[in-house]
Amino acid sequence: MILVSDEEYDGCPVTPYFLIKTSDEGFSIFLPTVCDLLAEDWRVVKA
């Protein structure tokens, strides 16, 4: 998972977002569901 946190794109403010690397070497945006946000099994991983 990659955090894209540029504050501005083409002169407009951008909200940070996460990208997930897919099996076909592409990327997909990660949009957590309510279940993801309320889960109690999250772990902090530092790269």
14: which residues sit within 8 A by CB, 6+ positions away? 6, 7, 8
Q: List the domain range (segments joined by +) for residue 19.
A: 2-38
Written as one letter, the residue type at 4 is V
Q: Is residue 26 part of a domain?
A: yes
Q: Is residue 44 part of a domain?
A: no
Q: Is residue 34 part of a domain?
A: yes
Question: What is the tens place of the pLDDT at every residue in 7-46?
Answer: 776 778 878 888 888 888 788 888 888 998 899 998 888 8
Q: Is residue 9 part of a domain?
A: yes
Rounded Cα distance between 36 and 28, Å, is 17
Place of tokens 């690397």: 21
Confidence at 47, pLDDT banded by 50, 70, 90: low
Written as one letter, the residue type at 23 is S
Entry pTM: 0.44
